[in-house]
Chain A
Amino acid sequence: MNKKKLLGDLMLILALLFVSLLVFLLVELTRDEGSSVLVTVDGEAVAEYSLFDDGEYSLNDGTNILVISNGCAYLKDASCPDRLCVNQGKISMSGERIVCLPNRVMIEILGVGEDILSN
């Protein structure tokens, strides 16, 4: 392979990895303790629950099941074929989110002072 082109390729790869590091740091450093879970369907906020009220909720007419317990939120079940959202585990810090792309459902942790629906 052409040496000059190989160098170009490597620079590109390094640049991309650098960008991904930047985005990662940006996201991680702006994290905070969560206080509520915001549920959005198709971009519209439909419900908000406190992270400290344990409960199980059926979202979007049952396509996804949200569970809040012990200050964490996660999707227990979903109707999508790959169920990536269910396998994403639990979230509890502000800014963290779990997305179900096929059903266009998203649950997001809001920090103290960011609560939308309760205002």
Chain B
Amino acid sequence: MNTKKLTTLSLSVALALLLSFIESQIPPFVAVPGIKIGLSNIVTVFLLYTYGWREAGCVSLVRVCLSSLLFGSAVSLLYALSGALLSFITMIALKKLPFFSEMGVSVAGGVFHNAGQIICACIIMENAAISAYLPPLIISGTVAGAVVGIISGILVKKLNGKI
């Protein structure tokens, strides 16, 4: 890996971390655990389309670990990793299909991130009924994912080739 790429990816981690932190400062409007805008996904989707899944995956993994270590706890790391993993696999799969743009990929990313967290919660609490939180999470994940996706799409178009 050349130095330029290394610096770009490191900056991406810092950016994603910063977005994640800013997001955590906004008080939740709705009392549903796990609801969030997912701004740091802008970085992940952008990297996915500009570089590839390895780069996006690395940055995502490092960011999730750092974010949980700095702002969360051991348990939050577990939830975050499940969400990020499921979200990532889904995004890679959808990107390979010709039917979806950055927005669609990002919508799936957001929704499946929440789904991953819910599945993790179901396993930890040994109770499948926590999935009752899925409907509001799917809706918020879709809306947030669409916004994040549109932003990522614009970034990919404007910055492609210049990074």
Query: Do A106 and B127 touch across chains, with their CB atoms under 8 A apart?
Result: yes
Decide if B129 is an interface residue (CB 8 Å cutoff). Answer: yes
- The number of chain B residues touching the other chain, given as a range, is 35 or more
Q: Indicate if the CB atoms of A23 and B100 lie closer than 8 Å.
A: no
B104 touches A19 (CB 8 A): no
Contacts A9-B107, A99-B33 given; indicate if A82 touches B28 (C-beta within 8 A): yes
Q: Flag if A9 contacts B142 (CB, 8 Å).
A: no
Contacts known (A4-B99, A97-B130); A102 close to B138, Cβ less than 8 A: no
Q: Is the CB of B135 within 8 A of A21?
A: yes
Closest to B137 in A: A20
Of B99, B138, B141, the residue contacting A5 (CB under 8 A) is: B99
Cβ of A42 under 8 Å from chain B: yes
CB-based contact A24/B135 at 8 Å: yes
The residue from B108, B135, B153 contacting A12, defined by CB atoms under 8 A apart? B108
Q: Within residues 73 to 119 of chain A, which ones have a CB less than 8 A from any CB in chain B?
A: 82, 84-85, 87-89, 95, 97, 99, 101-102, 104, 106, 108
- Besides A5-B104, A27-B132, A101-B33, 12 more A-B contacts (Cβ < 8 Å) are A1-B103, A6-B101, A9-B149, A13-B146, A16-B111, A23-B131, A23-B134, A42-B125, A43-B124, A82-B28, A101-B79, A106-B125
